[in-house]
Structure 1
């Protein structure tokens, strides 16, 4: 469970959440051209929350 700076997707149909865990599969599946640094004002994704405990 390694944290890194938060990121989120700018894709119009993406879930409006941010990620900060390197092992989050949802966050890692964001295409590089849609990946944006920061939280975007969105809540942390449920998968990242479970990872961080």
Structure 2
């Protein structure tokens, strides 16, 4: 498990979750221009939770 600072996507059709694991494929698929730091008050990604 590789924890990273929380981040989320601002893309309109992206799931409204945040990511905090560098092994999360969903988080890794977020394009750089759509990635923002922080949780934005969103729940944690289910994949990140499973990797924890």
Deviations 1:1-49 (A, max 9, x none): 1101000000011100000000000000000000000001100000000
Q: Can you give the 5+ residue segments of structure 1 that lack an aligned partner in the other structure?
A: none
Partner of 1:3: 3
- Which of structure 1's runs of 4+ aligned residues deviate more than 6 A? none
TM superposition score normalised by structure 2: 0.98
Gaps of 5+ in 2: none
TM-score (norm 1): 0.96
Aligned length: 52
Corresponding residue number in structure 1 for 2:29: 29
* RMSD value, Cα: 0.4
